[in-house]
């Protein structure tokens, strides 16, 4: 089994120092969309999709508020679909997608893989398809599921995983993949844990945004702190889960490697550490 770390989208909001902790106040922050591509005996598994091909062709479908605040730069070359041939695959090889949540920068590529089963927490799908008044601005992705995805929903329950709840989603494959509910950023937000040799990778989605948040002591740029609070469906739950992740990193950092969706330094670290693709 081989795991690839891909960036499947770029966002360039103003306020580099306030968002990423680097650069000037008016400079643009560098924000990535960190996705995983997992090779298994039963085909490929994607963890999140980033932006999709149609987002690159028609960025207006991402919604004006999202575009105004986060300044997305969807590009065809960055889509998961476009990156597959370089790894020796095509769209039909993607059999499963594990979605941390259904925000546009995490699920925009769903239409590129219409044959894949899309694994998501039941609460997330329910809110996305029938959003409350408060959440309508978040789930503008009708364009991302008008193709009627092959949804596979997962509820509460499962096994214990380092003190978290773990929901095993692909028992028939040689890859161990678990959903790790991390509610707060959205109502059905989840992390995705993947066995990697003797250890684990934990894709934390948007449970945190900056590597400093899971360091000890924790740090976070001021603007990003405010942004996370405003965007959260449940700020208290989000903050509690971020603290749990910090404790996980402190106690089990030799067994579990944590990373979030949008920190470019974490993406670069994991890409540097990953083994080279087989010839």
* CB proximity list for 176: less than 8 A, separation 6 or greater: 168, 193, 194, 195
Give the model's pLDDT for residue 278.
Answer: 55
**Does a cis peptide bond (omega within 30 degrees of 0) precede residue 217?**
yes
Task: Find out whether 43 and 84 touch, Cβ atoms under 8 Å.
Answer: no
Report the mean per-residue pLDDT for the chain. Answer: 92
Task: Find out whether 126 and 188 touch, Cβ atoms under 8 Å.
Answer: yes
Return the closest-CA partner of residue 221 out of 170, 262, 162, 164: 262
Please check the confidence at residue 80 and state whether its pLDDT lies above 90: yes
**pLDDT interval class at 78 (50, 70, 90):** very high
- 47-77 pLDDT, tens digit each: 999 999 999 999 999 988 888 888 899 999 9
Task: Find out whether 227 and 19 touch, Cβ atoms under 8 Å.
Answer: yes
- 126-137 pLDDT, tens digit each: 999 998 888 887
Please check the confidence at residue 141 and state whether its pLDDT lies above 70: no
Please check the confidence at residue 162 and state whether its pLDDT lies above 80: yes
Please check the confidence at residue 26 and state whether its pLDDT lies above 80: no
d(CA 42, CA 249): 31
φ, ψ for residue 106 (rounded to 5)?
A: -115, -25
Q: Please tell me whether residue 178 adopts helix, strand or coil conformation.
A: strand
d(CA 279, CA 265): 27
Tokens 């597959």 locate to: 84
* CB proximity list for 84: less than 8 A, separation 6 or greater: 37, 90, 91, 93, 94
Q: What is the pTM of this model?
A: 0.95
- 241-268 pLDDT, tens digit each: 999 999 999 999 999 999 999 999 999 9
Return the closest-CA partner of residue 129 out of 53, 73, 188: 188
* CB proximity list for 180: less than 8 A, separation 6 or greater: 161, 164, 165, 166, 167, 190, 191, 192, 193, 202
- Checking DSSP bridges between strand 43-47 and strand 94-98, what pairing results, if any? parallel
d(CA 26, CA 126): 38
Please say whether the structural domain 2-273 has been given the CATH code 3.40.50.10800.
Answer: no
Average pLDDT over residues 167-192: 94
Return the closest-CA partner of residue 268 out of 211, 216, 228: 211
Q: Which helix (H) or strand (E) holds 272?
A: helix 264-273
147 Rama sector, left if φ>0, alpha if ψ -120 to 50, beta otherwise:
alpha
d(CA 275, CA 83): 17
How is the beta sheet containing 159-161 ordered, strand by strand? 159-161, 164-168, 177-181, 190-196, 199-203, 256-259
The structural domains of the chain, with segments of one domain joined by +, span 2-273
């Amino acid at each position: 089994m081989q795991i690839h770390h891909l960036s499947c989208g770029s966002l360039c909001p103003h306020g580099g120092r306030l968002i990423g902790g680097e650069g000037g106040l008016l400079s643009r922050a560098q924000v990535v969309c960190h996705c995983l591509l997992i090779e298994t005996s039963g085909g490929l598994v994607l963890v999140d999709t980033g932006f999709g091909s149609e987002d690159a062709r028609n960025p207006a479908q991402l919604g004006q508020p999202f575009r105004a605040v986060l300044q997305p730069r969807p590009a065809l070359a960055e889509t998961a679909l476009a990156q597959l041939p370089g790894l020796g695959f095509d769209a039909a090889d993607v059999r499963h997608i594990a979605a941390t949540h259904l925000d546009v920068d995490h699920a925009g590529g769903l239409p590129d893989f219409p044959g894949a089963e899309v694994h998501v927490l039941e609460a997330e799908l329910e809110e996305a398809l029938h959003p409350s008044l408060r959440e309508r601005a978040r789930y503008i992705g009708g364009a991302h599921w008008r193709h009627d995805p092959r949804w596979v929903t997962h509820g509460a329950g499962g096994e214990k995983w380092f003190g978290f709840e773990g929901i095993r989603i692909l028992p028939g494959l040689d890859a161990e993949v678990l959903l790790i509910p991390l509610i707060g950023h959205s109502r059905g937000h989840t992390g995705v844990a993947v066995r990697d040799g003797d250890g684990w990778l934990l894709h934390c989605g948007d449970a945190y945004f900056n590597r400093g948040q899971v360091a000890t002591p924790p740090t976070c740029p001021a603007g990003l702190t405010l942004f996370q609070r405003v965007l959260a469906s449940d700020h208290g739950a989000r903050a509690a889960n971020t603290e749990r992740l910090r404790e996980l990193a402190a106690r089990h950092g030799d067994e579990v490697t944590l990373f979030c969706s949008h920190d470019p330094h974490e993406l670069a670290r994991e890409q540097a550490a990953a083994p080279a693709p087989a010839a």
